[in-house]
């Protein structure tokens, strides 16, 4: 444990500029983590897949093979061809263009849901390890009581006042995944809060915020990284499911769930139009799950010898 703490709190050496070292260390740490992930085959798969997802989302903001609203009633449910690489849907629109445009919507939902869940989970963890008995016990009871509410039910309740919207998916996923994050990381956070070095920091007058950011969060970062990556993958699946139920992405907004919803009724007749978005969703979810597993080992000093030696 002391080695792990040294990796996170190493001081600048003699004759070096403290400010320069503090500014350079996060970038050195990031390069070390990325290099560790890239050295593993599954890490390369996750990084390449997610990198292509981000690149596609950026490109489709300014270009798609066909205009999204261009339809042709004479070319509905067409098979893949040179003009339409993945075929057309029931309105004659290009399937590939809608999939590319949907990547931006799904990426936005994924990122905002993870940020929401991370912020909520961190706040609940801070309350859990608080020195206030009332706040600590209350947060534990709150998490255990609310974690049983299904994300789908929460989304349906939110859709009553808000209607079908991207915000419904983000809030429902953020709340549900934030509660899961706090529940998973809580045992390790409590263990870190009761450790000797945290008690020494308290005795030396360190503030609760400094203890949280410098001692507790670094210790729970690996399980939180895995949980957030799982939440990211689940948010992609949740978007598809909630859009199919009519409380997710509204009609007319491109998303992978929209592509699945508009063609699933004809899966027995035109299976290819369902196959493409299904493959994309599966590939991205697998990449996000693998990314979390590889990231956990890359940022854990106990598993990464470079971080353990303090070379980053």
Residues 6 or more apart whose Cβ sits within 8 Å of residue 15: none
Question: Distance between CA atoms of 104 and 68, rounded to whole angstroms?
Answer: 14
CATH of domain 26-63+86-311: 1.10.3720.10
Confidence of residue 17 (pLDDT cuts 50, 70, 90): very low
Helix axes 272-299, 217-245, angle to 10 degrees: 170
Confidence of residue 86 (pLDDT cuts 50, 70, 90): very high
Separation of first and last alpha carbons in the chain: 17
Which SS3 state, helix, strand or coil, does residue 233 take? helix
| pLDDT tops 50 at residue 292 | yes
Q: What's the whole-model pTM score? A: 0.86
Q: What is the mean pLDDT of residues 139-159?
A: 89
Q: What are phi and psi of 85, to 5 degrees?
A: -60, -35
pLDDT of residue 268: 81
Residue 201, number of CB atoms within 10 A of its CB: 16
Helix then strand count (H, E) for the chain reads 13, 0
pLDDT of residue 12: 41
Confidence of residue 311 (pLDDT cuts 50, 70, 90): low
Give residue 240's Cα distance to chain centre: 16
Q: Which helix (H) or strand (E) holds 173?
A: helix 166-193
Is the pLDDT higher at 204 or at 108? 108
Q: Which helix (H) or strand (E) holds 113?
A: helix 95-128
| pLDDT tops 70 at residue 191 | yes
Residue ranges per structural domain of the chain: 26-63+86-311
């Amino acid at each position: 444990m002391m080695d792990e703490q040294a990796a996170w709190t190493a001081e600048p050496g003699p004759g070096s500029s403290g400010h320069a070292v503090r500014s350079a260390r996060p970038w050195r740490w990031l390069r070390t983590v990325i290099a560790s992930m890239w050295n593993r085959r599954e890490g390369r798969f996750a990084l390449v897949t997610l990198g292509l997802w981000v690149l596609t989302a950026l490109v489709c903001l300014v270009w798609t093979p066909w205009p999204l609203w261009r339809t042709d009633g004479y070319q509905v449910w067409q098979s893949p061809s040179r003009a339409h690489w993945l075929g057309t849907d029931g309105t004659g629109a290009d399937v590939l263009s809608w999939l590319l445009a949907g990547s931006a919507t799904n990426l936005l939902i994924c990122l905002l849901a993870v940020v929401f869940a991370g912020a909520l989970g961190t706040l609940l963890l801070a309350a859990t390890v608080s020195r206030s008995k009332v706040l600590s016990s209350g947060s534990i009871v709150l998490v255990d009581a609310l974690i049983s509410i299904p994300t789908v039910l929460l989304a349906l309740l939110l859709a009553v006042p808000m209607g079908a919207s991207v915000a419904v998916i983000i809030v429902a996923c953020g709340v549900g995944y934030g509660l899961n994050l706090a529940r998973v990381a809580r045992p390790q956070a409590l263990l870190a809060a009761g450790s000797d070095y945290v008690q020494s920091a308290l005795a030396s007058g360190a503030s609760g915020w400094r203890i949280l950011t410098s001692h507790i969060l670094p210790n729970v970062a690996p399980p939180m990284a895995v949980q957030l990556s799982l939440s990211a993958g689940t948010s992609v699946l949740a978007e598809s499911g909630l859009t199919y139920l009519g409380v997710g992405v509204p009609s007319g907004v491109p998303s992978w769930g929209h592509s699945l919803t508009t063609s699933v009724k004809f899966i027995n007749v035109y299976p290819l139009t369902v196959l493409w978005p299904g493959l994309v969703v599966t590939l991205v979810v697998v990449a996000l799950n693998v990314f979390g597993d590889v990231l956990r080992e890359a940022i854990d000093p106990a598993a990464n010898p470079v971080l353990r030696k303090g070379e980053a």
